[in-house]
Each structure stands twice: as C-alpha cells, then as structure tokens.
C-alpha cells in the first residue's frame, strides 16, 4: 500500500457561520441525480492548532486514480485543515469511512469522462471507466459540500457535510473550452492556474491559450530569443503618459511592467512545462495558439526580415491613433526557401516544432483569421511572395486581391497542416482559414455567423468543428444590456470599451445551442463542442478578466456538459446563487457585487474648474483599489475630469489624473478614439479602522454646460 500526506503550511483562521446541510446545487447540471436520506460527514468542523491533524476519513484510490486522490486531498486540506491520507488499493467495493476513487467496474457506457457518484452516510464512491470520470465525480462531491470547501485557507465552524445522493453523469460534448488572450494583456502563471481551477470545478477540459498576436509574443522560443526579449514588451503609444498598457487603458490597473517601464511579460519554457503539468492533473488539455499568417506584428517586430514589407516596413506593436485596432501591416511572408534568410515558412515551422515539444495535447491553433481584412497588398508586391503566387498558378484562376490572398492562404494552411501532422499534431484555425476551401487534416474553430460561417460546410465534409460564434461566446462583450440597447451609453460598471459594442447577457450564453440547426443529423458528431473566448484588448487586469468571465463562463459550462433537454435557465440561476459563493471562496472576482453610486453631476455643469468631495467611508472595508466609473447619463456636452484623489482623514494618499465623461463620438458615453475611457483607479495601501475616507474629483464642463452623470464605485478591477 502507498501513503501520501501533505506538508505543514502556515495556518490562517476564518470563522464562518453555516446552518444545515447544503442542498444539491451542482453546475453543470448532472444527467441524473437522486437525493437520498441522510448526510455524509467529511471531518470535524474545527481542528486544533499546531501540527495538522489527520482526518479519520481516508481517500482510497486504485492505481489509475492516484492523481485525483492527490488533487482532492490537497483541496480538502487547504480549507478544512485536515490531512486526508491517500491509500492505494485496487479493490472496487465501498468501504466505511472512506472516499473511494476507482476505475474498477466503471460503466463503459458512460464514456471516457462519465462517472457515477454515490454519497452515503458512511462512505463515498466516485466510479468511472477512466480517470477523467473519477476526477469529475470528485468535482461533484466538492460541490455537494459547503462552498467554503474551496477556500484558499482553513476555515472553522463549518459543518463539513454533504447530502446523500446517487449521480450518474456524462458530458454532451467532448470539447469544453475557454480561451484566454494573453497577447494583448499579460496575466501570468497564477491567473492561468486560477482559471484552470475554476474550469476544473465546472468540468471544462480545454484551455485555449492565445499566446501570440500583434500586441505581444508570450512564449519563449529558444531558436528566436528576440521574440520574447523584444516582442514580449511594448512601450505604449502615449509617450506623454508612458502608457505601456495600450488600448487607452489606465496604466494603474496593472503592474505587469519591467524595470524600464515597458508593459508585458512572457512565459519561459519551464513556465510552460509547469502550467502543462498543472493542467494535466485537472484533465485539461492546453491548445496553444500561434497566429499566422496575419496578426504577426509581434513576431515581425523582433524579426522584420520575415515580413513581406522587408526592408522598407517598420513594424510597431504599440496601438497608436494612426495604426489602430484591429488591423495593421502584419502579414508574414510565405516564402519556403530554407536557404533564404527572408523566408517566413521555415521560421514558422521552427517555431511550431518547439511549441509542439512543449504541449503534449494533440492540437496547435494557427489562427488564420482576418488575413483578407488587413487590406495589405504586400503578398502581391513583395517579390518572394508575388513570384511564388505566379509559380503556384494562383494568378491563372484569380483576378483580384481578395481572391489571390484567399487562394494563397489556403495553399499555406494546407501545407502547414501537413507539417503539423508530421509533428504528431492537428492544426486548428479560425473561420477565415477555410475561406479558400476545406483544409485537410485540420479542425475548424468557427467564430463567424450567418453566411460567413463555415461550420456546416466543414462538418458535412467530414471535418471536426469547434463552435465559438462571437454573438454567443465572446466574454469581452458587454454583459448587461441596460441603456446600451437605447444607444445612450455603456452599461454601469463596464467602462471598458469593446470594438463592436456588442452585448452578451448571461441568458444569451445559457440558451446558446452549439449544433447548427441546418446541419443534417448524420454529421452532428462532427461538432466537437464549444468554447468561450475572452479577447483582452480592453481587459487589462486579472480582476477585470474575472469580472467579465463570471458568471457567463458558468453558463457556458452547462451548455458544454448538460444535455439540451435537461437545461432550465430558472433552475440554473437558482443553483448559481450557491456557485457564486464557491467562486468567492476561491478568490474569484465574480460579477455579483452591487455597484455603488457615490454621487452625481449635472444636469448643468460649470466650464470653470471645480473640486467635489464624496464620502465613501461606509463602503471601504479593506485595503485595495478604489475603482471609479464616471458614468455619463445625458446632455450634449462632456465632463473633463482633470484628477481624482483618495483622502484618508482629510489627507491625500493617492491620485489619478485626466479623463472625461460625456458625448464624444457617434454615441454618448464612449469615444472611438483610443485613450478616452472615463475610469480612475485609486490605490489604498493601508486600511485604517475608524478613519474617514473620501474621494475628490476636479472637473469642468467641456464644450458647454449641459452634461449629467453618476459616479460609481465598481468592482471590475
């Protein structure tokens, strides 16, 4: 027999009140759940200080389930303070006083990820045909326990009990994903792991990692060190503010800067291996994305010789007013001569060879989107590519730049797919990479809708498809329709401009059906599943990323796992109330905190500078950021906000400068120009109990006196 224990940790204590056993409230909704009489007690409510005590409950595992046993023991120890001994034994029968994790006698009809979970008064069994199912059974057990079980530190006075149930469960889709964009804004290892923990809790199994795009290169490639040394950082377009964060975001929302003030960061190959191992323990496959042949500005910034504008073009990652989002000169040359120092394809193949060695999963995403939309004519003007286009015969059947670029990209994608196949990987690409035809041996990720969607065409051709239509899955879209539907201003608490000004509500996500209605039944199995994407141009901090993701990612988890006939939005929102407590226990910035109005301005404002003071004492409970949203509500003019300040007992402890709120552009409340977002971030480093806290705003009317709005404290950062 094998034993495993956890090491001693520093002890922190939180007293929490809890009344009665929790009602079953699992997300995603299981396929079958029968609630039985009685409860199972995991361990005592309190533990003695000093040396951590062993729980009387053991975790019994078979050889296939040892990793899940370690995962569960670590999670339970963190919140209960008890060490759960792991014992390896290949027996398949329930044992009194034991949590049994086993693949013995699992129902093969449940598939590789299905499971049975039995919670009885004196034992628990998670049984499945494969370890992934055992792991998901353990996740359901965790959700049957009080939400505090997910706390990051020991808690006391919580009855660690779960209702007795029998669950039989399996997923609807094999691909249950979430995409994190770290090219635009760098979040770091801890945030990646935190999201993986939340994904695992919700039985999501695919982490799509957008590591390369125009604004940053985030993965170390040993053969090309400048990709991270140079393109892992950017200076920022506003030199007056040295705003290296870009996209008009307030540089105070993030500390991801280096010693000379550049914004960014990257992952070393050792970092990648560490994160891959973390994902594997949670049965999450990582799909790295290396954008090509467009959205390659970051790569060309470091190695411009691979761009088809070489040597005349200068590549700049920083987002400027003249070189705006989302398009710029970003096309890579598709020359194939391995002896040429300017051929882009050998460069990409060398990069992908290293990427393939780091990620054990079967897929590498190669982007392929918006190649035509860049508007570049570089391929037809650059000799290496124009000569190659002639040699391939593309000019013989195509007459305009769009047709030529489409055909040339299809040739490139077909060959890159074959190359990745030789590396033991399958290529993935966004909708547009199949505009020129089906790419052999590849997987389509379809983000387009209507006539631009290729999902049905691909699936009926036998190709596998992952559904990610922006209107149902893009978490960077506004989550609330309040007022925006009337064309007046952005929703309260969501000051980050997004490029399409679209709204994606919680119910929109939950009611999404991934299988296209016009797909013939015999091809439905070619729809692997679906995922949410969170594009980060206007999500500059980890706290805001979490705010935008939740609770919509919870709704997507149920879309991915639960059979459509079992879904019920009202029931989901009822279960979500408990799930919110779980996410809060994990330290996730769940979007559930009430937005606080601390003051108003207008309807008439002075064009002379005035300073206004607002008392926020009753709202400040701890150190941290005070986030202010100056929210325009009406009038033809704007409000210039010259500065904001945080006062403690009348003394200024922090200040943030310059912004505006009001009419500026085609819609009130936002500006299409980069660099004009009406939010401010004030840092409170030390909380002083009993002190008076105030916010001051120095402002004046702009272009007139008619402007009104409300100032909110919000939790988006």
Position 501 confidence tier, pLDDT thresholds 50, 70, 90: low
Do the beta carbons of residue 99 and residue 57 sit within 8 Å? yes
Closest listed residue to residue 204, CA positions, set 122, 295, 139, 134: 139
Q: Which helix (H) or strand (E) is 154 found in, with range?
A: none
Q: pLDDT by residue (tens digit) across 228-251?
A: 999 999 876 544 444 567 777 777
Neighbours of 391 (CB within 10 A): 9
Give the per-residue pLDDT at 712: 87
Structure tokens belonging to residue 216: 């940053």
Beta-strand pair 123-127/426-430: unpaired
- Where on the phi/psi map is residue 565: left (φ > 0), alpha (ψ -120 to 50), or beta? alpha
Ranges of H-type helices in 446-551: 455-460, 470-473, 506-510, 542-549
Q: How many CA atoms lie within 13 A of 461 on its CB side?
A: 16
Burial class (CB in 10 A: 0-12, 13-18, 19+), 338: exposed
Tokens 């790295």, located at residue? 288
Q: pLDDT by residue (tens digit) across 259-307?
A: 888 889 999 999 999 999 999 999 999 999 999 999 999 999 999 999 9
**Higher per-residue confidence, 679 vs 573:** 573
Degrees to nearest 5, angle at CA 341 with 338 and 343: 60
**Which one-letter DSSP state was computed for residue 326?**
S
Distance between CA atoms of residues 133 and 124, nearest Å: 15
Q: Which helix (H) or strand (E) is 630 found in, with range?
A: strand 624-634
Give the per-residue pLDDT at 529: 98
Degrees to nearest 5, angle at CA 163 with 162 and 167: 105
Reduce the DSSP state of residue 537 to 3 states and report it. Answer: coil
Has residue 478 got a pLDDT over 70? yes
Residues 6 or more apart whose CB falls under 8 angstroms from that of 624 comprise 684
Distance between CA atoms of residues 240 and 370, nearest Å: 32
Give the per-residue pLDDT at 573: 96
Position 486 confidence tier, pLDDT thresholds 50, 70, 90: very low
* Mean pLDDT confidence for 165-187: 97
Has residue 483 got a pLDDT over 80? no
Structure tokens belonging to residue 136: 């998901």
Reduce the DSSP state of residue 160 to 3 states and report it. Answer: strand
The per-residue b/e assignment along 522-549, b for 16 or more CB within 10 angstroms, e otherwise, is ebeebbbbbbbbbbbbbbbbbbbbbbbb
Has residue 421 got a pLDDT over 90? yes
* Mean pLDDT confidence for 505-522: 96
Structure tokens belonging to residue 312: 């005349």
Q: pLDDT by residue (tens digit) across 605-628?
A: 999 999 999 999 999 999 999 988
Give the per-residue pLDDT at 320: 52
Taking the CA atoms of 187, 193, 199 and 202 in sequence, report the sign of the dihedral they define. Answer: negative
Position 47 confidence tier, pLDDT thresholds 50, 70, 90: confident
Phi, psi angles (nearest 5°) of residue 684 = -105, 105
Q: pLDDT by residue (tens digit) across 542-568?
A: 988 999 999 999 999 999 999 999 999
Distance between CA atoms of residues 102 and 38, nearest Å: 23
Mean pLDDT of the chain: 88
Has residue 503 got a pLDDT over 90? no
Could you tell me the CA-to-CA distances from 105 to 30, 111, 130, 305, 444 in Å, in that order? 21, 13, 10, 59, 37
* Mean pLDDT confidence for 328-351: 91
> Percent of the chain, pLDDT > 90?
70
pTM of the model: 0.93
Q: pLDDT by residue (tens digit) across 69-89?
A: 999 999 999 999 999 999 998
Do the beta carbons of residue 30 and residue 167 sit within 8 Å? yes
Q: pLDDT by residue (tens digit) across 663-674?
A: 443 333 333 333
Q: Which helix (H) or strand (E) is 646 found in, with range?
A: strand 638-648
Do the beta carbons of residue 708 and residue 603 sit within 8 Å? yes
Average the pLDDT over each of 32-46, 428-442, 469-483, 678-692 and give the range with the smallest value: 469-483
DSSP-derived secondary structure for 289-310: EEEESSS-HHHHHH-GGGBTTT
* Mean pLDDT confidence for 588-613: 89
Position 593 confidence tier, pLDDT thresholds 50, 70, 90: low
């Amino acid at each position: 027999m094998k034993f495993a224990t956890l090491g001693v940790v520093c002890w922190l204590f939180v007293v929490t009140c809890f009344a009665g056993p929790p009602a079953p409230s699992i997300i995603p909704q299981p396929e079958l759940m029968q609630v039985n009489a009685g409860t199972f007690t995991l361990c005592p409510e309190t533990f003695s200080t000093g040396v951590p005590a062993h729980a009387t409950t053991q975790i019994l595992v078979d050889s296939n389930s040892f990793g899940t046993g370690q995962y569960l023991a670590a999670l339970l120890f963190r919140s209960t303070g008890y060490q759960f001994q792991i014992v390896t034994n290949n027996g398949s029968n329930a044992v009194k006083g034991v949590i049994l994790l086993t693949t013995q006698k699992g129902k093969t009809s449940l598939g590789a990820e299905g499971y049975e979970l039995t919670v009885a008064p004196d034992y628990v069994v998670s049984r499945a045909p494969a370890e992934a199912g055992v792991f998901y059974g353990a996740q359901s057990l965790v959700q049957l326990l009080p939400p505090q079980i997910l706390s990051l530190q020991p808690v006391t006075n919580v009855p660690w009990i779960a209702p007795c149930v029998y669950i039989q469960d399996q997923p609807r889709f094999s691909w249950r994903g979430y995409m994190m964009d770290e090219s635009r804004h760098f979040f770091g290892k801890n945030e990646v792991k935190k999201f993986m923990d939340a994904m695992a809790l919700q039985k999501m199994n695919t982490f799509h990692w957008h590591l390369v795009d125009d604004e940053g290169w985030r993965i170390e490639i040993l053969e090309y060190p400048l990709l991270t040394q140079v393109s892992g950082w950017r200076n920022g377009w506003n030199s007056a503010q040295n705003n290296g964060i870009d996209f008009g975001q307030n540089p105070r929302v993030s500390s991801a800067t280096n010693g000379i003030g550049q914004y960014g960061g990257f992952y070393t190959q050792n970092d990648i291996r560490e994160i891959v191992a973390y994902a594997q323990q949670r049965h999450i496959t990582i799909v790295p994305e290396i954008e090509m042949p467009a959205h390659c500005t970051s790569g060309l910034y470091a190695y411009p010789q691979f761009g088809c504008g070489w040597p005349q073009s200068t590549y700049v990652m920083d987002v400027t007013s003249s070189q705006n989002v989302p398009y710029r000169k970003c096309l890579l040359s598709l020359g194939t001569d391995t002896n040429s120092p300017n051929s882009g394809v050998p460069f990409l193949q060398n990069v992908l060879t290293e990427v393939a060695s780091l990620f054990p999963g079967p897929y590498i995403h190669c982007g392929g989107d918006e190649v035509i939309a860049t508007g570049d004519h570089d391929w037809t003007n650059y000799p290496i590519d124009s000569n190659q286009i002639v040699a391939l015969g593309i000019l013989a059947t195509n007459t305009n730049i769009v047709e030529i670029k489409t055909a040339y990209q299809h040739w490139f994608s077909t060959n890159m797919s074959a190359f990745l196949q030789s590396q033991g990987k399958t290529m993935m690409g966004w909708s547009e990479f199949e505009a020129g035809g089906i790419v052999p041996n590849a997987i389509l990720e379809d983000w387009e809708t209507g006539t631009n969607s290729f999902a049905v065409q691909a699936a009926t051709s036998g190709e596998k498809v992952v559904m990610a239509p922006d209107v149902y899955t893009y978490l960077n879209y506004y989550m609330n329709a309040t007022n925006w539907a009337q064309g007046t201003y952005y929703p309260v608490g969501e000051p980050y401009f997004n490029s399409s000004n679209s709204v994606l509500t919680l119910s929109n996500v939950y009611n999404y059906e991934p299988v296209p209605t016009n797909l013939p039944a015999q091809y439905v199995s070619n729809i692997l599943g679906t995922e949410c994407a969170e594009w980060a141009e206007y999500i500059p901090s980890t706290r805001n990323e979490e705010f935008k993701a939740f609770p919509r990612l919870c709704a997507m988890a149920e879309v991915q796992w639960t059979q459509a006939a079992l879904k019920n939005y009202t029931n989901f929102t009822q279960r979500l109330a408990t799930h919110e407590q779980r996410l809060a226990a994990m330290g996730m910035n769940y979007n559930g905190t009430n937005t606080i109005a601390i003051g108003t301005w207008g309807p008439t404002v002075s064009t002379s500078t005035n300073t206004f003071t607002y008392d926020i004492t009753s709202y400040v409970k701890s150190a941290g950021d005070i986030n202010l949203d100056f929210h325009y509500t009406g009038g033809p003019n704007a409000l210039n906000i010259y500065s904001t300040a945080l006062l403690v007992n009348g003394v200024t402890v922090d200040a943030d400068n310059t912004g505006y709120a009001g009419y500026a552009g085609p819609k009130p409340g936002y500006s299409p120009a980069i660099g004009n977002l009406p939010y401010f971030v004030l840092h409170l480093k030390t909380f002083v109990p009993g002190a008076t806290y105030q916010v001051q705003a120095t402002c004046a009317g702009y272009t007139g006196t008619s402007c009104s709005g409300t100032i909110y404290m919000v939790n988006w950062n």
